[in-house]
Chain A
């Protein structure tokens, strides 16, 4: 893996060097051309100021120096006959240069070169001028360009090699370190896949990106483990809850068939009981589905402005006779004009479930109250009772599906009521809180945001 990256880096680096080389080449060319142009102009000036003889002398002088540096000069007569310089013949191509006044590469054969050069025939940058007396002047630069280029490529080669070496070393050590840490994660994943869900990725103390990643993955694993555990609980509980009515149905039918002759009344009774059991099964399933939907946030798409004051008043009025029949002192109190965004039926269901619990669990002569108050922390719907309450350490557990605190079987219910309330409340962005009512339970549905008058937008905590 890290080798592949190193190769990629090397390729990129080579590309970079190629670009660098080419641009240097252009720079050198430009420099040479500039020098070439200024030299030939200077020579033309010599002619203009001091005449042909002086120019000839200058070229003879330059010749010896030029031989070492690979520069070529040629002063020739009108018909191309050499007058001075280190070329024996006026190259034919040079005539084009006279016309174009430009610098171009022309072919110089080593046959016409005077002196011992280590370059052979080549295309060399050159410039040529026609002097006023029709004689011609040619300047060409040879080895110098070559030398510069050689130097440049030598330098580049060295630094390229060094860079590659450095990078190989770096990626090797770095890659090794990274691989080691990825390998830890990999191994933990394998262990988890082979069944040990409790495994977690060990953290280093470096607090780097790898630790962050490992920590996130560990959190994710915690979450998954939790969900799996609660799923298993739910499945176990559903199985347990449905087993009894299904067993009842089965046994009742079997007993019914044992005797040949039964009265119609007996058949009717058995069938009615069976419908009752089936209804319980359906109800349980619906409650599970409803909770799951609320959890997933897919239950009812439509939210609108809900008059909480009215809802509390009406649900209170709905339950008042039941509470009275249960021998309870029941009261409903509410502030006027408290509105929230939500779904009336779902909230009604939530309040109903909480009130139902309060009435069911509070002994005769106890008190149950339903209140709507607004405080600095929001709008609270409070359902308080003087029943047995819930121990503080159970406040979280009772929200889970199928959790029933009373295991004596004295009260009815499927243990889904509170989990549904919790799901509905969460779907509304509100919170379900429990508190000790000394004695009894205070269940609070708290809406952080509310509107005290829907006509103006003034929201929440005063």
Chain B
């Protein structure tokens, strides 16, 4: 990914840059809002990583200016806990995702990839397919190796989300946000329990597991672990 990082905290910027570069991404860094906006206007990036509060120009204002200019590069806003503004404001301003500091680096990486990677396309029949697992959005039928799998509505949504984001790491908070629509810290393994039930249904009777646990981060639906 080609990432533009706009962050005034030098230490945080160094750490983010190093992490992202080591994961194979290109990072351009601006340490204030004005420079950041200029850079975002001059070159095309895959994703913008913008701190909420910046010298010279506020993070939300940068996104607002870009969107007004017709620039739709996905943007992830970083904000410190304790700032009264909540993510609703950030998303209203045109941000695509929002992360509160301090965050796990793996969480950031997963969210950036989700913003950049295009969703898996459906096949001509309106189905998602990963290996021999097929989910049909029209008939709401799920099969693996032709065998019917019965899912509850929520499990169906979970699986649909995983299939749409095939090969991408999905974190627990992303799932709670996307599948349940809530943004809070459940502090427990409620999400994992849902995943393990889904996994039993789609993987248990088959030789090749598809739903993988990514240690310390989340889950991934993929043909290869």
Residues in A lying within 8 Å of B, measured CB to CB: 272, 275, 279, 282-283, 286, 289-290, 293, 298-302, 314, 317-319, 321-322, 325, 344-346, 348-349, 352-353, 356, 360, 417
Contacts and interface: CB of A to CB of B under 8 A. Distances in A.
A293 B83 CA distance: 10
Interface in B4-55: none
Contacts of A290: 81
Contact of A352 (B82, B104, B186): B186
6 contacts: A272-B215, A282-B102, A283-B185, A301-B86, A318-B194, A360-B188
B187 A417 contact: yes
B196 to A, nearest CB: 8
Given A302-B88, A345-B183, A272 B216 contact: yes
A222 B163 CA distance: 60
Contacts of B86: 300-302
A344 B81 contact: no
Given A322-B190, A345-B183, 13 more contacts: A272-B215, A286-B81, A286-B185, A302-B86, A314-B181, A314-B182, A317-B154, A322-B188, A322-B193, A325-B193, A345-B182, A349-B185, A356-B186
A302 B92 CA distance: 13
Given A272-B216, A322-B193, A344-B182, A356 B84 contact: no
The A interface, classified by DSSP as helix, strand, loop or mixed, is helix
Contacts of A279: 104
A283 B84 CA distance: 19
Contacts of A352: 184, 186-188, 190
A372 to B, nearest CB: 17
Contacts of A349: 184-185
A301 B84 contact: yes
Contact of B190 (A293, A298, A319): A319
A322 B180 CA distance: 16
A298 B185 CA distance: 19
Interface of B: 81-82, 84-86, 88-89, 102, 104, 154, 180-190, 193-194, 197, 215-216
Given A301-B84, A301-B85, A317-B154, A356 B187 contact: yes
The 3 A-B pairs with the shortest beta carbon distances in the complex, nearest first, are A349-B184, A321-B193, A348-B182
A290 B84 CA distance: 11
A346 B190 contact: no
Given A314-B180, A317-B154, A298 B186 contact: no
Contacts of B188: 322, 352, 356, 360
B154 to A, nearest CB: 6
Given A300-B86, A344-B182, A321 B187 contact: no
A349 B188 CA distance: 12
Contacts of A293: 82
Contacts of A272: 215-216
A272 B216 CA distance: 8
Contacts of A318: 180, 186, 190, 194
Given A302-B86, A314-B180, A321 B194 contact: yes
A302 B82 CA distance: 14
B104 A289 contact: no
Contacts of B88: 302
B183 to A, nearest CB: 5
A269 to B, nearest CB: 11
A366 B183 CA distance: 30
B184 A275 contact: no
B189 A322 contact: yes
Nearest to B155: A321
A348 B85 CA distance: 19
A283 B193 CA distance: 21
Contacts of B216: 272, 275
A430 B193 CA distance: 31
A158 to B, nearest CB: 70
In this complex, which of B88, B187, B193 has the most chain A Cβ atoms within 10 angstroms of its Cβ? B187
